[in-house]
Chain A
Amino acid sequence: MPGSLLVVIAYILLAVFLVVFVYRTYSIAKLPVHLRWELAPIPHEKGKSHYGGSYFEEFEWWTKPREKSLVNEATYMFQEILFLKSLWEHNRKLWWFSFPFHFGMYVLIAAGGLLVIGTVLSLLGVTDSALAGLGVVVGPVAAVGFVLGGIGAIGLLFKRMTDARLKAFTTPMGLFNLVLLLAVFATGIYSFLALDGFADNVSEFVGAVFTANTALATSGVLATHLVLALVFMAYLPFTQMMHFMAKYFTYHQVRWNDTPLQVGGKMEQEVQKLLQQPMTWSAPHINADGKKNWVDIATAEVGK
């Protein structure tokens, strides 16, 4: 593949990734404040989170200072993200594959990050021996990621096609996602094995992307891998694979959001605006006409 084409493809796919990723995250973040729907355990409850207690356990809780432990929250999330703790606890059969699968991806993200940093630094003219060392480790680290991810993906595919419980709920897209990732991992490990200096080659490509260098020459194997990886990135934000982003909101904004309404606070202002919206639910007991807002409808004397 001509280097110019590869670089152009990279720009397009990375742009799609960025735009859709940001858009989707923003569209969740900007949804209106919701009613409280917390769920124990809430790790920020200091001294109580180990058994799932909350500030409601305090006599006249509103007279006590609220003690929050953000460290507990962070620890909880760290274990969830890195080790998939709830999967370990509640669905171990899947964890044996899901963990290497996810961990492989994390390793790859880390390797990719290091590689980009290294490339940028050397473009800036930094020539340090540590940088050279980085180039040496990134390749094998990525290889570990490919292998772990590949084992996980094969296992998950197998599970999803054989386990009756999973099979009934597995969608064509779910299988496609796994196959696509497997292809990324497989071409990755193949490139690593087939090429002299895998990391240097990828670094060259990254450099070309940063400098718009269209004179890049990339071998067919590596180009296939890079295009597949980029396609995956561009495709990811359209799918439920964005669940890692969602998890931030389902935990911090829903399960752990136990902030009470404060008179005069920002939340109160937002709620007051939301209550002014007209509603159109059409069951007779609601008595909505498309003009009456939430306050009108909730305060109407009904059925007397």
Chain B
Amino acid sequence: MSATIRVEDIGKRKGEVLSPIGVEDLEPLPPPYDKIEEQPVWKELSDDVKGRTVWTLDGISALSLPQPTNEAEEKEYVDKFLAGLKKLLESENNWTFLQPLTLSLEYCVRCQTCNDACPTFTESGGKDIYRPTYRSEVWRRLVNKYVKPGGKIFSKFSDGDIDLNWTTISRLYELCYRCTMCRRCAQSCPIGVDNGLITHELRKLFSQELGWAPRELHEKGTVQHLQVGSSTGMNTEVVKDNIEFIDEDMQDVTGMDATTPWDEQDADMLLIHNAGEILAWPENPGAFAIILNAAGVKWTLASDEVAYDGVNYGLFYDDIQLARIALKHTATAKKLNVNKIVMGECGHQHKAMMTISDRILTGDMVVHKESAMTLLEEIVFSGKIKFDPSKNDFPVTMHDPCNIVRNLGIVEPQRRILRYLCPQFREMTPHGIDNYCCGGGSGFAVMSPNNFADWRISLGGRKKFRQILDAFADQPGPEVKKYVCAPCSNCKGQIRDTLNYYGALEKSGITYGGLVELIVNAMVDVKQPFIEWEMH
């Protein structure tokens, strides 16, 4: 094992890579993926990128943070960081998470119980910087030394030393994007300290004070969402055109009614998809339309800007952007006077709407919100649609999206559907609330700049890939087609990238998709198989 990287090292050895990582460091995968020489080679950073951006944490540049040109600029950022560090602990600036954050700041007993719960740390071959506690301890030491009264004197004794400088903050910024905020570590902590929350809060500090955030989540994400209407860049017309095309296509393929109602006043439910589905997985919104129509539900999509895209990347890095988007979603539901908003197959949409924004939407902004998982369970077991489970007679396993399962406790509805409709359904180990993140959590699924894709797939998604292979270990060959059901857009994106990265469809016959696709595939009235055994 490489030498221990200590907490205080983060601010030292300016310009050097603190803890280099490569595929050879990672825990080996089972065959036929066990030969490093057969795995994709990690992308080398170009000299240009190396010269311009920060990559000194682990040799990866996830954020393309520009290198300052002089010390004055460095100092300016360090000062701002310090200001943000204080604001995180003030009620007027951070009442939203102040209590949980204060508890996580002051009461960690440094027992390291959380370490083994973290898929990033364990799959990395035990690299210190990926411990759930490393990032948290850096922050804790910074607060205790630079924010608490008398900190410069006492913190060496109470916490250990640390230096606040450009090297520290630029590496810490990258380090905030090596954690998927899956909160598996928090579940194992005997005190209830939450390292995932600390990642969340540090990302907020960088975004809300320094204006630093990944381009994919901010400019191309929330900013584009608020300006154009969707983080995909689709405006109202484009989205309506696309859905119309999907409806027709689905109708042709299945012979079922796949018409999508738009802006129906007083509908029972406003369905909001992650708009990424419409572009990357059109069969998902198509399948929803088929199911809802077949069940006779009074539903609608909304064509208001923002409201046709359930994405809310604010959840991952910025409370203000989160609130702005949540307000738009709510305003449309109120305007249409629907009974409830239903979350499509998107995990972070569930969390952003059903819990995180619950308490900021007061008075006449309160709207009922429900998960597609419970709605689909209600429909599948209502007897309104006829099913033939033998149509799904192939091995199926399920990935539990952290935001739906660990965070919201929606565990069984989707399983009851699969147990009923998929004769060869089998669980991953572990699963349910103990699941592992797909590796695409907290926005990673849409981030691939520089050499970050190699990191997030090879390391971030490693545990999940291992779990998928294990779940199908009884029929490992490509001749048996197998299906990973991932009822979440971001998870699907990450799982797609992982399976493609290793050529898992060709080598192991594994593909993936959502939950509604399996439901439609099992419908008696759908004449042709709905699931296509290809990568998309």
Contacts and interface: CB of A to CB of B under 8 A. Distances in A.
Contact of A246 (B6, B103, B110): B103
Contacts of A98: 111
Interface string A93-124: 01000100000000000000000000000000
A260 B408 CA distance: 12
Contact of A281 (B209, B323, B373): B209
B410 A57 contact: yes
Interface string B298-336: 000000000000000000000011011001000000000
A86 to B, nearest CB: 5
B216 interface: no
A90 B117 contact: yes
B503 interface: no
Given A39-B186, A87-B111, A168 B6 contact: yes
A282 B108 CA distance: 30
A268 interface: yes
Contacts of A263: 362-363, 366
Given A54-B408, A283-B211, A303-B227, A34 B97 contact: yes
Nearest to A49: B409
B377 interface: yes
Nearest to B357: A35
Interface string B176-197: 0000000100111111111001
Interface size class of B (residues with CB under 8 A): 35 or more
Interface string B384-423: 0000000000000000000001111111110000000000
A246 B110 CA distance: 15
Interface string B207-242: 111110000001000010011000000000000000
B409 A283 contact: no
A80 interface: yes
Contact of A285 (B98, B223, B363, B406): B223
A297 B409 contact: no
A274 interface: yes
A41 to B, nearest CB: 6
A303 B223 CA distance: 8
Contacts of B191: 243, 246-247, 250
A223 interface: no
A59 B103 CA distance: 34
A302 B340 CA distance: 27
Contacts of B211: 283-285
A53 B409 contact: yes
Contacts of B83: 282
Nearest to B351: A36
A94 B112 CA distance: 10
B411 A57 contact: yes
A282 B409 contact: no
A59 B210 CA distance: 43
B157 A173 contact: yes
Nearest to A85: B190
Given A240-B106, A279-B92, A51 B80 contact: no
B451 interface: no
Please classify the interface of chain B as helix (H, G, I), strand (E, B), loop, or mixed, using the class held by over half of its residues.
helix
Interface stretch (A200-208, A224-232, A251-259): A251-259
B190 to A, nearest CB: 5
Given A87-B111, A247-B191, A41 B208 contact: no
A31 interface: yes
Interface size class of A (residues with CB under 8 A): 35 or more
B98 A54 contact: no
A274 B91 contact: yes
Contact of B98 (A34, A243, A267): A34
B103 A277 contact: no
A47 B344 CA distance: 26
Interface in B345-372: 354-363, 366, 368, 370-371
Contacts of B133: 169
B113 interface: yes
A94 B111 contact: yes
A34 B100 contact: yes
Which one of A57, A242, A304 has the greatest number of beta carbons of chain B within 10 Å? A57
Which one of B183, B358, B360 has the greatest number of beta carbons of chain A within 10 Å? B360
B407 A40 contact: yes
Nearest to A303: B227
Contacts of A26: none
A173 to B, nearest CB: 5
B429 interface: no
B70 interface: no
Nearest to B413: A57
Given A61-B374, A242-B106, A249-B103, 8 more contacts: A35-B355, A39-B406, A40-B406, A40-B411, A168-B7, A250-B104, A254-B103, A285-B321
Interface of A: 28, 31-42, 45, 48, 51-62, 80, 84, 86-87, 89-91, 94, 98, 164-166, 168-174, 176, 239-240, 242-243, 246-247, 249-251, 253-255, 258, 260-261, 263, 267-268, 271-272, 274-275, 277-286, 294, 297-299, 302-304
A-B pairs, 5 with minimum CB distance: A250-B192, A54-B409, A52-B433, A246-B107, A283-B211
8 contacts: A32-B91, A42-B409, A54-B409, A91-B188, A168-B7, A171-B157, A250-B103, A285-B223
